[in-house]
Structure 1
């Protein structure tokens, strides 16, 4: 299979509409339809069930959509890493570190300062993202290294070093009647009237069903909590960056959060190795 054919198929499979897929790809619909038919003939399977009004994935099509996405992600990652390797060879060995916005801020600051003090330290670009995006950005090559948080982020397929473990707290508006408690439990949070937990978008950009507000970033979340529209469960290190209109209470039965530094196992970057060494020395 050609990369072009995979991109065409993934677009049709995600849109389930040849016209919209053609518009997304910037091509006319007839050559797109021909390319999909050619791909089906080459594989000897039917990938899409077509009628005059609908397009649906077959079982074989669902498999190729999943595998095709992974293959295209790998191709894109190879492209990005190759370009960065070329920059490194010309004396510009920059690193891209991705982390969830608002998470591990104090640890990240100490890490960047410690690494910058190393002789010959490379420039580090910090990419802040929404919860759950760090893993994808690291896998697809847009980042060289990431700060991930178990048990919420998967570290499967990465090399990792553990940096810290901490408990969790519930974040509430200052003055809320529960802020005077020494501690709470998760059941107390689930029963909070008028302060539902937020809903973050999934990988496809859609929000799960639920009563909580839809949030896009950490700043929006903090503002909603301060306004008394939501609550949140976060690692206790979030306390270092809270304003006066927010308060925290420890949670006894929330799982501990372990921050790890993670990187692709095939990386051969000296700059990355030195950054990881600086992290493990903290």
Structure 2
């Protein structure tokens, strides 16, 4: 039984969908399906119930998932611990947005527990660079939000957050239970500078051209709403400052929290970081 096959199985078991798992593994679906069938044949057990809408784990599959996660965690730790013992272990993490997110806090705790000898450096990025310095080579891995141009990058989704419109508390729409993008037509929105990743820019503008003040940081976004009455979007679940509120947007896709790193990067600390992040953000 190869570690690679176990990684394939864990991806399918976590995504509960062969297509999404194949995309996560950067491979096509047919060889992934064949690998899982070979694994089932090797173990003499059905691991997954397949259906047109996805898959579900069998009791045997649940057992294997728990065992495989533990085994892969230990395997990922080997090169990291060797690097730490050699005195060359460091990891630079790019953070976008709120570093007090409970997922990030849990990840910091678990990473410190697993890798006490690793020096972790953190680089906070503003909203103009969703890859947090990854493309410029300033960080090894980024905790950020999609969408953005993923060319040359590997990306793992950690969580999906609903989003809402940021409004002044005295805005006529502030008391609504939810809004749709059409309710905000004609309003001024805070904007990112020219040259910002087009996919990132389009998402936070609700897919349409907008006009409004240019901002680069979360606090600037909030100040634009408070002082100028502009609107914009924010992930829900974050406390709003006094004078502001966030109203859910019913027709906006969730904001995806992701880990991103350069495809092909051989840094031995990255696989363990990504696995720990996946667990920390899904609690």
Structure whose CA Rg is larger: 1
Distance 1:203 1:88 in 2: 39
Aligned to 1:31: none
Aligned to 1:109: 105
Distance 2:184 2:156 in 1: 32
CA contact (8 A) 1:98 1:134 kept: no
Measured after TM superposition, the shift of residue 92 of structure 1 is 4.2
Aligned to 2:245: 247
Q: Which stretches in structure 1 are left out of the alignment for 5+ residues?
A: 1-86
Aligned to 1:201: 193
Question: TM-score under structure 1 normalisation?
Answer: 0.58
Aligned to 1:231: 231
Give the RMSD, CA atoms, in angstroms. 3.0
* Superposed CA offset, 1:185-228 (max 9, x none): 01112234xxx111211338xx9x96301213211211222224
Q: Which has the higher helix share?
A: 1
Name the count of aligned residue pairs. 189
Aligned to 1:146: 142
Aligned to 1:216: 216
Q: Which stretches in structure 2 are left out of the alignment for 5+ residues?
A: 1-82, 202-208
Distance 1:106 1:273 in 2: 21
Distance 2:263 2:130 in 1: 16
Answering whether residue 185 of structure 2 is matched by residue 180 of structure 1, we say no
Q: Say which SS state the counterpart of residue 221 (structure 1) adopts.
A: helix
1:174/1:250 Cα in 2 relative to 1: closer, same or farther (>3 Å)?
same
Measured after TM superposition, the shift of residue 253 of structure 1 is 0.7
Aligned to 2:116: 120
1:255/1:210 Cα in 2 relative to 1: closer, same or farther (>3 Å)?
closer
1:154-169 → structure 2 map (5 Å cutoff) = 154-169=149-164
1:203/1:122 Cα in 2 relative to 1: closer, same or farther (>3 Å)?
farther
1:210/1:278 Cα in 2 relative to 1: closer, same or farther (>3 Å)?
closer
1:136/1:115 Cα in 2 relative to 1: closer, same or farther (>3 Å)?
closer
Measured after TM superposition, the shift of residue 121 of structure 1 is 5.1
Measured after TM superposition, the shift of residue 89 of structure 1 is 8.7
